[in-house]
């Protein structure tokens, strides 16, 4: 297997990849501790923003990492042989309070998959669903074509 060519994706190509997917890997950090989790998102291609629901429990590690407005990276990738594409969005997660919700927010969260409560051992009453927005400071995408 050899790399045929690697190219930077255009913003339009990045929008296409992000719009046809709904899951990615969100990476957070605190001091020297990394934390990465699979998440689902809704993508607003007009404003290039991500909307996500993050579910945590009172004692969870995730809640500790989300305790302030954390810097993050979101990676979304796909492999459709012979093409491999990946998008990296870098920015700061912003929590959206239910007090500031608008009809537009509700429509954007409608594009995000439901949190999978059923995979949690704890009862729903112990789960805390927080709403976040990521308005990336930068986004980049790469396409690699693999020569067979």
Question: Which residues in this chain contact other proteins in the complex, by CB under 8 A?
Answer: 53, 98, 101-107, 109-110, 112-115, 117, 124-125, 129, 131
Shortest distance in whole angstroms from residue 95 CB to other proteins: 13
* Cα separation of the two ends of the chain: 6
Assign 27 to helix, strand or coil.
strand
What number of other Cβ atoms are within 10 A of residue 14's Cβ? Answer: 22
Closer residue to other proteins in complex, CB, 85/108: 108
Alpha carbon distance 85, 51 (integer Å): 21
Closer residue to other proteins in complex, CB, 12/110: 110
Closer residue to other proteins in complex, CB, 30/111: 111
Shortest distance in whole angstroms from residue 38 CB to other proteins: 16
Alpha carbon distance 15, 89 (integer Å): 11
């Amino acid at each position: 297997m050899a790399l045929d060519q690697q190219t930077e994706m255009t913003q339009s190509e990045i929008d296409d990849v992000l719009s046809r997917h709904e899951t990615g890997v969100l990476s957070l950090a605190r001091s020297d501790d990394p934390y990465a989790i699979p998440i689902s998102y809704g993508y607003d291609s007009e404003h290039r923003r991500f909307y996500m629901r993050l579910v945590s429990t009172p004692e969870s590690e995730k809640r500790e990492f989300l305790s302030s407005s954390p810097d993050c990276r979101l990676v979304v990738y796909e492999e459709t042989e012979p093409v491999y594409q990946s998008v990296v969005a870098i920015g700061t997660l912003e929590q959206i309070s239910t007090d500031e919700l608008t009809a537009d927010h509700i429509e954007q969260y409608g594009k995000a998959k439901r949190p999978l409560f059923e995979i949690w051992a704890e009862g729903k009453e112990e789960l805390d669903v927080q709403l976040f927005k990521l308005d990336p400071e930068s986004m980049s995408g790469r396409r690699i074509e693999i020569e067979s």
